[in-house]
Structure 1
Amino acid sequence: MTRYEQQRQLLKSNFHEFKAIKTDKIKGLEQPPIVKPFDAGSRIIDLPKVSRDPVSQNSIYDCIAQRRSTRFYSADALSLEELSYLLWATQGITGMSKNGLTLRTVPCSGATHTFETYLLIMRVEGIPQGIYRYLPVEHKLLFMFKLDQLEQKIDAITLDQPFVPNFAKKASVLFAWSTTPYRSEWKYDISAHKKILIDVGHVCQNLYLASESIGAGACAIGIYDQKLIDEVLGLDGDEEFVIYLGAVGKKRE
């Protein structure tokens, strides 16, 4: 049991210990950027304006009741309108706070929003296969690069899935959420890491429900090759690293 003790402490509230700490915010250190910057010369893809149009299941009750982890997908591609909707549902910005923090479609501790959304796109109408990043402020896609043998690389990243091996490469899109922990550490210090884990759960649950609402299926993936996915996306693995994956595709009849 002793090997579990350290990890279990992460799950507990450390409120009293945290209250005794002078955080970087209290010290007056500069707040980290609220989103990851990008080069002005990047290839940017416009996303359709988010609307109710892709939604075929309007009942939130039914979406919750019918939600299942979906590992079998049809060969149908997602439309760009559907992808736009899923990105908005998981990290879309719906307003700004008085102090310049983003208010989004998902709850987040102190509006710190440590996540970036990377997409390994296999089948989306009008979008070539490749690696992309979502720009939430602009609600646009940033093309990063084409990855040769993308499906084989996804196999290597997602390792041995216990229920349906190799299912992730058959999805239309693999969402890869990274975290930049200091966005939360700046404000919450040693309490940041539990909050980050809670917050990423909100993001993935929105992916499940939004996917259900458009007749698609999602499956969260917590078993993956950390080093490989970070290397593929060009992340340093320390200041920014992948924390969660989610596969999405049209359901197979």
Structure 2
Amino acid sequence: MKSRFKKIIIHSDLPLADRNAEREVLGMSKDLLKSQWGKVNDLLTDQKLGKPQPSFEEPFDNNMVILELEKPENLKFGNISFREVVEKRSSKRKYSKDPLSIDELSYLLWLTQGIRKITNGITFRTVPSAGARHPFETYIFIFNVLNLNVGLYRYIASQHKLLLIDEGDFRELLNDACLGQNFVAQSAAVFVWSCVSYRTTWRYADLSYKAILLDAGHVCQNLYLACESINCGCCAIAAYDQEKLDKLLHVDGEKQFAIYLAAVGKIP
């Protein structure tokens, strides 16, 4: 399940067979959104076949630079009322030059993918996920965060730490991967969620794909609300070049691939 959506138009001047093929593609896309959960007990999944449960987190090299983040219980942000946060929420594409603090970044990471507890290889996080499968990894392009070098990082949720993947200014490359949406390069940080779909398909097979899309929405909505609570703006992005973004993240594009991203910055 990759973000390779493209505009499909039923052309009346095409031969009937071609028009029917286009309608079939549209119908398959629509069927993905329909509930098929009545069939879940009939599925022969890898879980039922006794195959080992996939890890809840992708492996990483402990010899790489790993940065400590402030522990969640010590973060004292977000005293605004929940109602006010919800009512203020909107997609914001204009950001000031004021930097995020590393503690604010820690706060946003915790509220979007933080792990509250781990039981038998299953994570219980600050966001819901079908079957607690949590198929995402969080990557962050840092452009303007105090005491952090510009570059690409990955959130190690199991330790609430940051892993440095690549130093360097990725503004131009990321702007290109996001199809020229210039506000991306003006943000303080860009959150990118990659999908390791087997974490969910191991249990739910083809029923997983609708659930994964719903899960991505849960994560990004938490980011929106968390940003509002600390006077930051957020804008979700679903329009991007799949291959270019996967390449920037150093993921293979098959077992793991980018599925959603959002720019974050201080509100002017």
Q: TM-score, normalised by structure 2?
A: 0.89
- The answer for the alignment partner of 1:187 in structure 2 is 203
Shift of 1:12: 0.6
The structure with the larger Rg is 2
1:139 equivalent in alignment to 2:160 = yes
Which of 10, 27, 39 matches 2:61?
39
Which of 200, 203, 217 matches 1:201?
217
Deviations 1:163-193 (A, max 9, x none): xxx0111000000000000000000001111
- The answer for the alignment partner of 2:134 in structure 1 is 113
Which of 45, 67, 71 matches 2:89?
67
Mapping of residues 154-233 of structure 1, within 5 Å:
154-161=174-181, 166-233=182-249
Deviations 1:93-114 (A, max 9, x none): 11223x3311000000111000
Shift of 1:225: 1.0
Does the CA contact (< 8 Å) of 1:178 and 1:241 recur in 2? yes
**How many Å separate the matches in 1 of 2:167 and 2:180?**
25
**How many Å separate the matches in 1 of 2:158 and 2:52?**
21
**How many Å separate the matches in 2 of 1:54 and 1:21?**
45
Mapping of residues 93-132 of structure 1, within 5 Å:
93-97=115-119, 99-132=120-153
Tell me the secondary structure at the aligned position of residue 16 of structure 1: helix
**How many Å separate the matches in 1 of 2:26 and 2:194?**
25
Does the CA contact (< 8 Å) of 1:54 and 1:81 recur in 2? no
Tell me the secondary structure at the aligned position of residue 177 of structure 2: helix
Deviations 1:112-164 (A, max 9, x none): 000000000000000000000000010000000113x4211121011144xxx
Does the CA contact (< 8 Å) of 1:93 and 1:104 recur in 2? yes
Deviations 1:65-89 (A, max 9, x none): 0001010000000000100000000
**How many Å separate the matches in 2 of 1:119 and 1:65?**
27
Letter in 2 for 1:20: D
Shift of 1:52: 4.4
Q: Tell which deviates more after alignment, 11-20 or 193-202.
A: 11-20
Unaligned ranges ≥5, structure 1: none
Letter in 2 for 1:192: S
Does the CA contact (< 8 Å) of 2:100 and 2:188 recur in 1? yes
Does the CA contact (< 8 Å) of 1:18 and 1:190 recur in 2? no
Letter in 2 for 1:152: E
Shift of 1:58: 2.3
Tell me the secondary structure at the aligned position of residue 76 of structure 1: coil
**How many Å separate the matches in 2 of 1:63 and 1:45?**
30
Identical aligned pairs, as a percentage?
A: 43
Does the CA contact (< 8 Å) of 2:55 and 2:121 recur in 1? no
Q: CA RMSD in A?
A: 1.2
**How many Å separate the matches in 1 of 2:66 and 2:166?**
12
Deviations 1:183-227 (A, max 9, x none): 000000011111000001000000000000000010000001110
Unaligned ranges ≥5, structure 2: 1-9, 11-22
Deviations 1:21-60 (A, max 9, x none): 11110110011111111112111000012244232x4200
Letter in 2 for 1:53: K
Tell me the secondary structure at the aligned position of residue 153 of structure 1: helix
Does the CA contact (< 8 Å) of 2:190 and 2:261 recur in 1? yes
Q: TM-score, normalised by structure 1?
A: 0.94
- In the TM superposition, structure 1's runs of 4+ consecutive aligned residues that sit over 6 Å from their partners are none
**How many Å separate the matches in 2 of 1:106 and 1:84?**
16
Does the CA contact (< 8 Å) of 2:112 and 2:127 recur in 1? yes
Shift of 1:4: 1.6
- The answer for the alignment partner of 2:76 in structure 1 is 53
- The answer for the alignment partner of 2:3 in structure 1 is none
